[in-house]
Amino acid sequence: MTTNALIWTVVKLAVMVGFLLNVAGLLTWYDRRGGAMMQDRLGPNRAAIKIFGFELRIAGLLHTAADGVKFFTKEDFMPPKADRLLFSLAPMLAMAPVFALLAVIPFGETISPDALWRTVCMKTGAATQALSAAGTCADGFEMHTMFPWVPGAGAPPRANAIPLEVAPLDIGLLYIFAMAGQGIIGAAIAGWSSDNKFSLMGALRAASQMVSYEVTMGLTLIGAMMIYGSLRLEDMVVWQRDNCWGIFVQPLAFFLFFTAAIAESKRIPFDLPEAESELVSGYFTEYSGMKFGMFYFAEYAEVVTSSMLVVTIFLGGWSLPFFHRDGITIAFGDNQVLVQHLPHIWVVIISVLAFFGKTLAICWIQAFVRWSLPRFRYDQLMKLGWTVLLPLSLANIFATGVIWLAIQRGGASVAAGLKTTADLTQAFVAATLTGLIVWAIVGILKKPTPKPQVVGSSASYAAAAGGAKEGPIHDEPAARASA
């Protein structure tokens, strides 16, 4: 590996790990803040810093910092009869696979380093010239920095192209399943090594739940692999950029994968392995200090990585509607409406922001689900996985194969019709995203107007009946005496 390639690898690794750590930490805050807003309560309001008599709370963000201090300073308790080696190893086995998943997730358009910017010599009314060997311009020419654009679809890849992916493996999707399956080992070892019946029960639940829903996750992606024709996540994003997002060609697989991903993270409504009302804290009941913090943080990190996978496989990855490697091209079939080339450096920046923005949106949806749905019973959880999601994933594979074969035999007319349909889906996504952005801006700028609300069913029934009737207040002892 050359020095340049090593530097780029370190930069890509720092971007992905930094995003994961920061968003996972923010999710711990949003679980408190968002849950409080949905349940009409205060939420995180106690941790504060006093400066010259003023209390600084920063909307409850200091609670996340307080959690970190607490984890580092609490006693590291270990049960007397626990297996010391496995008990200490389990948190690492639970956390390491989450970070390993980041290696094969692409987060931006492939970079052509020589096309990011270019310094040339320019003169009014004359053609540009390259710099001399000494790095200077000829007389009458001035040095200018240009930001060129690069050719889009159909252009051969540059020799020094740098994919924004830490490890661009040809078996990227298989690597995802291999690493995701390692989380089962951490939970199982944690419960068994704790010498606690509640921990053991939680470990058994975690192992059976994660194995069950991983089967569904794997089968739902077979249809996607048939459509994309590759196991590389980067190729999947490129296909969606040039055609349409995966959610339109695999809508059932999207919902099945998203449900299974929430179950894999063991969060409500699938938090049976750590059900407080039944198992205290499940497989990490005996853990404290930073070991508990690793389990706690790994759960939120799983939310981020699963959101990245949903975005990459079904929501276009880093791509945006009509946004290509060379810029913006609005076209419907063979009819081009607008072609606007953009500098390559801006294409890369916008693609990275698009990927992380989509990831944050899916993380928010997962947090919303966590505070919206009640917990399943354990038999309902397993029944959902084996009798509902699994048959649907098999049916999706069969339907995808039949439809795909029919399309391949349809000829050029069918291909042209699908191309136009794909462009229409791009327009639909663009209109939807624009509407959501405008709605959010209007909602932020709009001044809220308080409205009286009737709380409680008895009050609403009384109001609907014309109001509660007030009668005389009788003295109960006197009433009894007169009776």
Length of the chain: 483
Establish if 93 belongs to a structural domain: yes
* HEC secondary structure over 268-322: CCCCHHHCHHHHCCHHHCCCCHHHHHHHHHHHHHHHHHHHHHHHHHHCCCCCCCC
- Specify the residue for token string 């993270």: 265
Establish if 28 belongs to a structural domain: no
Q: Do 211 and 312 fall within a single domain?
A: yes
Q: What is the pLDDT of residues 313-361, one digit of tens each?
A: 999 888 888 888 888 888 887 777 888 888 888 888 999 999 999 999 9
Residue 27 is which amino acid? Answer: L
Number of structural domains the chain divides into: 2
- Other C-beta atoms within 10 Å of 184: how many? 21
Q: What is the pLDDT of residues 68-116, one digit of tens each?
A: 788 788 777 788 887 888 888 888 888 888 888 888 899 888 888 777 7
Q: Tell me, what DSSP letter sits at residue 472? A: P
Q: Do 134 and 223 fall within a single domain?
A: no
Q: Do 321 and 226 fall within a single domain?
A: yes
Instruction: Report residue 131's pLDDT band, with 50, 70 and 90 as the boundaries.
Output: low
Which helix (H) or strand (E) is 54 found in, with range?
strand 54-56
Q: Do 97 and 139 fall within a single domain?
A: no
Question: What would the DSSP string read from start to end of 182-246?
Answer: THHHHHHHHHHHTT-HHHHHHHHHHHHHHHHHHHHHHHHHHHHHHHH--S-HHHHHHHHHHS--H
Q: Do 255 and 118 fall within a single domain?
A: no
Establish if 8 belongs to a structural domain: no
Question: Nearest-5° angle of CA 193, CA 194, CA 199?
Answer: 110
Report which of 266, 181, 179 is spatially closest to residue 215, judged by C-alpha positions: 181
- Percent helix, strand, coil in the chain (nearest 5)? 60, 5, 30
Tokens of 136: 């200077």
Is the confidence at residue 200, as pLDDT, over 60?
A: yes
Q: Do 230 and 251 fall within a single domain?
A: yes
Establish if 376 belongs to a structural domain: yes
Q: Do 133 and 280 fall within a single domain?
A: no
* Whole-number Cα distances in Å, 242 to 122, 152, 168, 199, 233: 36, 10, 20, 49, 15
Mean pLDDT value across the chain? 81
Q: Do 121 and 179 fall within a single domain?
A: no
Q: Do 103 and 122 fall within a single domain?
A: no
**How many Å is the maximal CA-CA distance in the chain?**
118
Domain of 172? Answer: 78-112+162-442
Instruction: Report residue 155's pLDDT band, with 50, 70 and 90 as the boundaries.
Output: low
457 or 162: whose pLDDT is higher?
162
pLDDT of residue 360: 92
Q: Say if CB 86 and CB 193 are below 8 A apart.
A: yes
Establish if 181 belongs to a structural domain: yes
Q: Do 247 and 360 fall within a single domain?
A: yes
Of 100, 128, 149, the domain-final residue: 149
Which helix (H) or strand (E) is 118 found in, with range?
strand 118-122
Q: Do 103 and 145 fall within a single domain?
A: no
Establish if 63 belongs to a structural domain: no
pLDDT of residue 353: 92
188 or 308: whose pLDDT is higher?
308
Establish if 397 belongs to a structural domain: yes
For residue 146, the SS3 value is: strand
Q: What is the pLDDT of residues 420-447, one digit of tens each?
A: 888 888 888 889 888 888 888 888 787 7
Q: Do 94 and 189 fall within a single domain?
A: yes
Is the confidence at residue 36, as pLDDT, over 60?
A: yes
pLDDT of residue 395: 92
Establish if 300 belongs to a structural domain: yes
Q: Say if CB 145 and CB 118 are below 8 A apart.
A: yes
Which residues 6+ apart lie within 8 Å of 88 measured at CB? 78, 291
Q: Say if CB 319 and CB 240 are below 8 A apart.
A: yes
